[in-house]
Amino acid sequence: MRRKDAALANSEAPIRDRSAGEAERHSRPGAAARRAGPRLRAVAAVLCGLLAASCNGSKNAYVPPPPPKVVVAQPVQKPVTLYLELTGNTAPVASVDLVARVQGALESIDYADGAAVAKGAQLFGIERDVYQAQLDQAKATLAANQASLAYNQSEYQRQAALARQDFASQATMQEWKSKADQAAAEVLSAQAAIELANINLGYTKVLAPFDGVVTNHLADVGALVGVSGPTKLATIIQVAPLYVYFTLSEPQILAMQRNLAQHGVSLRTSGLSDVPVEIGLQGEDGYPHQGHLDYASPAVDTATGTLTARALFDNKDRALLPGLFVRVRTPIARQDKALLTRDEAIGASQEGSYVLVVGRDDVVEKKVVKTGARDGRLRVIESGLDPGDWVVAEGILRAVPGAKVDPQRAAPEAVANDPAEAAKPGAPAPAAK
């Protein structure tokens, strides 16, 4: 019986545990509801407040943002020289290879690599002994031939006098005349040999043919040069003055011809020193180096369709080196009343170049223009713009065609010279032009 009672007690224990767990679960939702009560009441209060606000008579009115401010200026009107802008390369006026024209050992190098030398300065020396001996030998031969000529002429004169008196035959006289003539020829030959020996002796000194700069030497002292032909020793380059070569395309040539024809002048290929040419190097502002046109090819190259031209620059300070890439410009025409505006104010689209102008009621308009040459910060407007137009110079990204703006006037000179001055707010532009 005791075992049965214990088993019964053990079987009833899980039932009591499950009942207790179910009772605890049923009691939890009520506790959570009690904890969430204050928050629910706060949310309900906010909703009631919003509902009450929406039910009253006041309404929120939309206030559009003010129109954006932009700086506007009228085009600058002034005389402008139109330039043809090209690219080219500098080149030396003269460049000569210094060579050994006679055979011998190199005895001296008489300059420093890269040094500037004057015309006639000795640059290299080649051994002279052999050529000096050849010169002395030629002089001795000349002396012997001159002595032979004197004897033969004297004998010829004596035989001629005897022949006139019939004491010598005409044949003997003619024989001595022939010997005298032969001796005279030998004297001439000896004189030519002396000149040749002098020339060869002079070749032992390699001299500078003009003022210039000499490159590094290509042969060392003691080297045998001129064995199988002229041996290159160095190169001398003339850098003052200096050439600049550039090319013009066929459309540019034709445009230049039209501009010259308007002034009654024809395109010429000589006497061009009165045509100024300006160049600028990479990294330089503008065109600080001035020269003049020196040569223009008389024919267009059919292979490239270009015409080669050359300008001459003094280059006394040697600021320009041969082989540099340069920007080139030369004047081709002049406009007395050209319209110019800031180059940054000009945009580009599929229609071409355009500017934004502020028209009636401060509404932005888009005008397609034809641009010309650049003049400092400004660019020439050839067509499409009127002198009285107010061009958007600052705040271009805020100006949208068809939208209203708040234009601030700026003097054209301020826009041209100092963008910071142009950006300062000024008097508003009128609503109508």
**pTM, entire model:** 0.66
Q: Which fold has domain 82-91+238-335?
A: Elongation Factor Tu (Ef-tu); domain 3 (2.40.30)
Q: How would residue 42 be classed by pLDDT, with cut points 50, 70 and 90?
A: low
Across the strands, what pairs with 29?
Answer: none
Q: Which fold has domain 95-237?
A: OB fold (Dihydrolipoamide Acetyltransferase, E2P) (2.40.50)
Task: Provide the residue ranges of all domains of the chain, joining segments of one domain with +.
Answer: 1-58, 70-78+336-423, 82-91+238-335, 95-237
pLDDT attached to residue 14: 47
Residue in the structure block whose two tokens are 């044949």: 171
- Please, what is the angle between helix 170-202 and helix 129-164, to 10°? 160
Distances (CA, A) of 167 to 155, 170, 173, 175, 314: 14, 10, 11, 15, 79
In three-state form (DSSP H/G/I as H, E/B as E, the rest C), the secondary structure along 169-207 is CHHHHHHHHHHHHHHHHHHHHHHHHHHHHHHHHHCCEEE
User: Which residues are CB-contacts of 155 (< 8 A; sequence separation ≥ 6)?
Assistant: 176, 179, 180
Query: Position 302: which residue type?
Result: T
Q: Is the pLDDT of residue 352 over 70?
A: yes
Q: How would residue 417 be classed by pLDDT, with cut points 50, 70 and 90?
A: low
Q: How would residue 255 be classed by pLDDT, with cut points 50, 70 and 90?
A: confident
* CATH code given to domain 70-78+336-423: 2.40.420.20
Q: How would residue 49 be classed by pLDDT, with cut points 50, 70 and 90?
A: low
